[in-house]
């Protein structure tokens, strides 16, 4: 099939690459010429500057100019297309609603081209982005306005988790396709022939609106579960002496009905989707006069959790943030990605700077390039206080306190490195519970606060 993927960010690039592996002729289109030039170079470092996913650069190198083509010129490739996957940004607006302007702009540009195409065979426009329920219909109206002949619309939300995007694109748990007609479902089945009758992959055919709703329910439910552990599990570990978080988690999730995924406590869930999607669903409900109490509580708990350890430090520690030097380990929103969108580390930086720290010495194995973009001193002169380092040890040098914000494996069990690099009085704020033997550090005079660990003044009473 001839397939166009419009938008080559995390979702579009992974989707285009994995589709090309199955022998489709895939044209990945983006308005960002620098991005397209980087992908066309087929050089790993160039590609990973934009999307850093294990295995992705290799698929691109193997398929480029055979099954996979990158372009900024959709006009030259639109003729003969069977399917156009829209993988465009849908960021939140200040009121929480989804900004659909990228969609409108792209569609207003593409629709007249579709109307004029020489080959008038059926083409389906498929939303892969997370879009409010009813967006496929909005898209249909734009196409109708431009009198595009022989066109179908569909919704095919993406569920890939960053850090494991290639694997999950190759073997998703489910493929959800919402379309109006059998003809359009048939086209989608041909796109996804490797999944349709797969024994372990649920291939679900439904209406466009149901497909759109499935994505919102799935994402907000995951965030609800994470927030339950943060808002209830962690509080139990903090409030009552001798409650051990790791045992609590194992005991609860030994029940098959309760998910192991998400049963961790942390300084909040970030990333480009959770916060944006829950805000959008709240807005969609509010616009229809539906109560949103549960969703609002979940959103609030998650946001609060991001900097909660700093509040705890102020209450429990003797440390004062003013003019202090802080090591920040982890900038990406989770391990195995360089993505910093809505990362908890951004909130941590903001909170530390607001409390007058002198310097933040940051280290992340993948996200430093991204961090410099997000924390650009030309946007806020306080970001000049952030310095970037090449290792955990370098970041720790000369610091008064440490904040661990991302769950990179190399941050696990850091007590030896901490003892080697910094001496008490020293405050450790562990947002990811990466130091299981922290009591040894406490005995040596370090102050330690983790999500779910006892309040410091209770620590002496714990055996």
Ligand X SMILES: NC(=O)c1ccc[n+]([C@@H]2O[C@H](COP(=O)([O-])OP(=O)(O)OC[C@H]3O[C@@H](n4cnc5c(N)ncnc54)[C@H](O)[C@@H]3O)[C@@H](O)[C@H]2O)c1
**Active site residues per annotation:** 273
- Taking the least distance from each CB to ligand X, the nearer of 276 and 361 is 276
Residue in this structure with the two tokens 């569909």, named with its chain if needed: 154
Contact between 6 and ligand X per CB under 6 A = yes
Asked whether the beta carbons of 390 and 397 are under 8 A apart, the reply is: no
Contact between 340 and ligand X per CB under 6 A = no
Other CB atoms within 10 Å distance of the CB of residue 22: 15
Asked whether the beta carbons of 19 and 3 are under 8 A apart, the reply is: yes
Q: Can you tell me which of 2, 3, 7, 123 binds ligand X, judged by CB under 6 A?
A: 7
In this structure, are strands 174-179 and 151-155 parallel, antiparallel, or unpaired? antiparallel
Q: Can you tell me which of 2, 3, 5, 12 binds ligand X, judged by CB under 6 A?
A: 12
Quote the CA–CA distance of 160 and 165 in Å, as a whole number: 5
Q: According to CB under 6 A, which residues from 61 to 100 bind ligand X?
A: 87-90
- Taking the least distance from each CB to ligand X, the nearer of 105 and 323 is 105
Please give the full DSSP string across 361-403, using - where no structure is assigned.
Answer: EEE-SS-HHHHHHHT-TTT-GGGGGEEE-SSHHHHHTT-SEEE
Residue 55 beta carbon to ligand X: minimum distance, rounded to whole angstroms: 16
For residue 175, CA distances in Å to 17, 201, 359 come to: 17, 7, 47
φ, ψ of residue 448 to 5 degrees: the values are: -135, 130
Site string for ligand X, 127-166 (x = CB under 6 A): --xx---------------------------x-x-x----
Tokens representing 344? 């908890």
Taking contact as CB under 6 A, which single stretch among the options 10-18, 53-61, 258-266, 368-376 is the one that binds ligand X?
10-18
Contact between 272 and ligand X per CB under 6 A = yes
Residue 343 beta carbon to ligand X: minimum distance, rounded to whole angstroms: 13
User: Which SS3 state, helix, strand or coil, does residue 445 take?
Assistant: coil
The secondary element (H helix, E strand) that includes residue 377 is: none
Residue 429 beta carbon to ligand X: minimum distance, rounded to whole angstroms: 27
Taking contact as CB under 6 A, which single stretch among the options 24-32, 114-122, 315-323, 367-375 is the one that binds ligand X?
24-32
Radius of gyration of the CA atoms of the chain, in A: 24
Quote the CA–CA distance of 235 and 230 in Å, as a whole number: 7
- Taking the least distance from each CB to ligand X, the nearer of 9 and 231 is 9
Residue whose CB is nearest to ligand X in the complex, by number: 9
Residue in this structure with the two tokens 């990362």, named with its chain if needed: 343
Q: According to CB under 6 A, which residues from 273 to 292 bind ligand X?
A: 273
Taking contact as CB under 6 A, which single stretch among the options 30-38, 41-49, 203-211, 254-262 is the one that binds ligand X?
30-38
Residue 127 beta carbon to ligand X: minimum distance, rounded to whole angstroms: 9
Binding footprint of ligand X, residue count (CB under 6 A): 26
Give the CA-trace dihedral at 182, 188, 191, 194, to 10 degrees. -80
Instruction: Note the residues at the interface with ligand X (CB under 6 A).
Output: 6-12, 29-32, 35, 87-90, 102, 105-106, 129-130, 158, 160, 162, 272-273
């Amino acid at each position: 099939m001839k397939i166009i993927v419009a938008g080559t960010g995390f979702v579009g690039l992974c989707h285009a690459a994995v589709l090309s592996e199955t022998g489709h002729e895939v044209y990945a289109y983006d308005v960002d010429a620098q991005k397209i030039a980087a992908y066309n170079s087929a050089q790993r470092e160039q590609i990973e500057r934009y999307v850093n996913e294990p295995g992705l650069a290799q698929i691109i190198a193997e398929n480029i100019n055979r099954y996979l083509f990158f372009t900024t010129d959709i006009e030259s490739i639109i003729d003969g297309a069977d399917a156009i996957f829209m993988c465009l940004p849908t960021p939140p607006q200040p009121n929480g609603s989804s900004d659909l302007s990228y969609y409108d702009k792209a569609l207003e540009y593409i629709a007249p081209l579709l109307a004029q195409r020489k080959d008038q065979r059926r083409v389906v426009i498929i939303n892969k982005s997370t879009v409010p329920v009813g967006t496929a219909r909005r898209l249909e109206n734009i196409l109708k306005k431009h009198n595009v002949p022989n066109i179908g619309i569909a919704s095919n939300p993406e569920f890939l988790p960053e850090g494991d995007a290639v694997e999950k694109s190759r073997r998703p748990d489910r493929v959800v396709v919402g379309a109006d007609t059998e003809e359009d479902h048939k086209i989608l089945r041909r796109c996804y022939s490797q999944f349709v009758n797969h024994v372990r992959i649920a291939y679900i055919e439904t209406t466009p609106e149901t497909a759109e709703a499935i994505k919102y329910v799935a994402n907000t439910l995951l965030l609800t579960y994470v927030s339950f552990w943060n808002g209830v599990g962690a509080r139990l570990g903090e409030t009552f002496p001798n409650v051990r978080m790791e045992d609590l988690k194992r005991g609860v999730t030994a029940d098959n009905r309760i998910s192991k995924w998400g049963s961790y406590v942390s300084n909040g869930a970030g990333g480009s989707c959770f916060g944006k999607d829950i805000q959008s669903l709240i807005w969609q409900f509010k616009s229809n006069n539906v109560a949103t109490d549960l969703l609002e509580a979940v959103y609030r708990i998650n946001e609060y959790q991001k900097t909660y350890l700093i509040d705890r430090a102020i209450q429990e520690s003797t440390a004062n943030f003013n003019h202090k030097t802080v090591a920040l380990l982890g900038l990406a929103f989770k391990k195995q990605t360089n993505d910093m969108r809505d990362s908890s580390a951004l909130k941590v930086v903001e909170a530390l700077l607001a409390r007058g720290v002198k310097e933040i010495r940051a280290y992340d194995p993948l996200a430093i390039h991204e961090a410099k973009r997000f924390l650009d001193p030309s946007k806020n002169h306080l970001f000049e206080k952030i310095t970037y380092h090449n290792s955990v040890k370098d970041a720790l040098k000369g610091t008064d306190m440490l904040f661990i914000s991302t769950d990179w494996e190399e941050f696990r069990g850091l007590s030896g490195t901490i003892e080697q690099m910094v001496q008490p009085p020293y405050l450790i704020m562990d947002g990811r519970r990466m130091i299981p033997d922290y009591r040894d550090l406490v005995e040596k005079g370090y102050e330690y606060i983790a999500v779910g660990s006892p309040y410091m003044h209770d620590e002496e009473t714990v055996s």
